[in-house]
Amino acid sequence: MNRLKNQNGFISVVIMIIVCLITIVCLYFVLDIYGFIEVPEEYSIGRFLKPTEDFAIQTEIYSTDNTNIRTRIDDSINYSDANTDLGVDDSNRKNENGNGNENQPVYTNIDTNRFYYSQLDDVGKKIYNKVVAEKENLKKGNYSIDFGKDFNKLLNSDGGEETLNASFQSAMNAVLLDNPDIFFIDITKMYLLTHSTTYAFTGTTYEVSIGANDNGGSYLNDDFDEFAVEVADTKLKSLKNVIINKLSGNDLDKIKQIHDYLIDNLEYDSTFSNPQIYNIYGALINNNTVCEGYAKAFKYLLDEAGIPCVMICGTAQNSKGEIENHAWNYVFIDGNWYAIDVTWDDPIVVGGGRLSDESKYKYYLRGSDSLFVDHEENGNVVKDVYFTYPKLSSEDY
């Protein structure tokens, strides 16, 4: 009996010692991991579970070596255009398909206000939707759009970084092409921030956001601050309402009235010196713009009038025989798509004088047979970002 008591007592002592050791180790671990005590790295238990965070410099491309990555958005549309009165002969080229978009989908049953959105992948659509939802906050110029861990699974998969980067580029360009009213953003100043936290045993967790650079910069267009954006937005909405309220007749009449308003009031800026010439503010308020501004202003007004309209990216051959990047529009009316190039319907008249009706409507409601003599749609918005367009009627309206 005494021997049994001694054994039980011994076991109890051993258990108490073990419990004390475990308590001390746990306490040591907690103090170590939370930094309450300083422990040399080689004796640190917590080092195996502490997160490791590395911060890389701002870069234009993803790098698998960096864990804090900012991807610079490429230029929205690489347009270098000239507003010239074309005099191209019948020898001008067509697309490889003969009429330019022979194999293109018709796109008759989609919301043309989200035309580019419809062609994004699921990742791009998530980015697009959140950016558009935060449109008012983006007017601040330094607001950060937080996606949290939405793309964590993607970034932990093979090729995830490349997929996210490509979707990011496509989505941001789609946002501006579908939403000309977001005129105040220079997406070349916006960055995708990927922040990673790595644990020894649990792997890496990624959090993603979109915003300005680290230096407290702004992604607003040059000459804009938050107050100026609000003023500009108010001016644009007021003018838009005036224009729309004066429209009369059917959709065909309204298309012509908007087309004519832009030609009568806008001038082509061949100096390329004003930062607003690529958006609707430069077009409708400053009355100075280039092809991108013409096309965005046309879509902006037709969207408000409820007439299906999309902006088109491609190339065109000017009167000198030069191929240049260009932008114009497709409109849907009476069951078919037709092209309108407001920029080239508003040529510079050498020596002044009145613009003839022949010049004013040379690129008005054109079908593929006549448009693709000197225009070619390519859907190449920027670098490797491509979109497809509706199939035009072969004949003019």
Give the CATH number for residue 340. Answer: 3.10.620
Q: Looking at the structure, tell me whether residues 241 and 184 fall in a common domain.
A: no
| 238: number of Cβ within 10 Å | 10
Residue 349 lies in a domain: yes
Residue 315 lies in a domain: yes
242 and 197 both lie in a single domain = no
Examine the fold and report which residue of 211, 233, 268 is the final residue of a domain before the chain moves on.
Answer: 211
Mean pLDDT across the chain, nearest whole number? 81
* Model pLDDT, residue 23: 80
> Is residue 63 included in any domain, yes or no?
no
42-51, 190-199, 320-329, range with greatest mean pLDDT: 320-329
Same-domain status, 187 and 262: no
Question: Does residue 141 form part of some domain?
Answer: yes
Both ends of the chain: CA-CA distance in Å? 111
Q: Establish if 233 belongs to a structural domain.
A: yes
Q: Are 207 and 148 in contact (CB under 8 A)?
A: yes
Last residue of a domain, one of 177, 211, 245: 211
Is there a single domain that holds both residue 229 and residue 350?
A: yes
Is residue 332 classed as helix, strand or coil in its secondary structure? strand
Residue 207 sits in the same domain as residue 287? no
Residues 329 and 247 in one domain: yes
Q: Of 148, 183, 211, which marks where a domain is finished?
A: 211
Tally of CA atoms within 13 A in the half-sphere of 86 that contains its CB? 27
pLDDT at residue number 13: 74
Q: State whether 179 and 299 are in the same domain.
A: no
> Following CA atoms 277, 279, 285, 287 in sequence, which dihedral angle do they give, to the nearest 10 degrees?
40
Same domain assignment for residues 316 and 378: yes
**pLDDT at residue 187 in the model:** 87
Is 60 exceeded by the pLDDT of residue 271?
Answer: yes
Are 35 and 140 within one domain? Answer: no
Report yes or no: 354 and 297 within 8 Å, Cβ to Cβ: no
Q: Same domain for 127 and 168?
A: yes
Q: Is 291 helix (H, G, I), strand (E, B) or coil?
A: helix
Q: In this predicted structure, what is the pLDDT of residue 6?
A: 60
Higher model confidence: residue 186 or residue 39?
186
Which string of DSSP letters, residue by residue, matches 23-53?
HHHHHHHHHHHTTSS---GGG-SGGGTS-B-
CA distance 11 to 369: 97
Same domain, 203 and 294: no
Residues 68, 154, 200, CA angle at the centre, nearest 5°? 60
Name the residue range of residue 36's domain.
2-46
237-269 tens-digit pLDDT: 999 999 999 999 999 999 999 999 999 999 998
Supply the pLDDT for residue 10.
72
* Confidence band for 81, pLDDT divided at 50, 70 and 90: very low
Query: Number of folded domains in the chain?
Result: 3
Looking at the fold, whether 295 and 233 belong to one and the same domain comes out as yes
**pLDDT of 281 above 80:** yes
Residue 96, in any domain of the structure: no
Phi, psi of 276 (to 5 degrees): -95, 5
In a domain, 82, yes or no: no
> pLDDT per residue over 11-24, tens digit each?
777 778 887 888 87
- pLDDT score of 56: 30
- Which residue is it, tokens 């999309």? 310
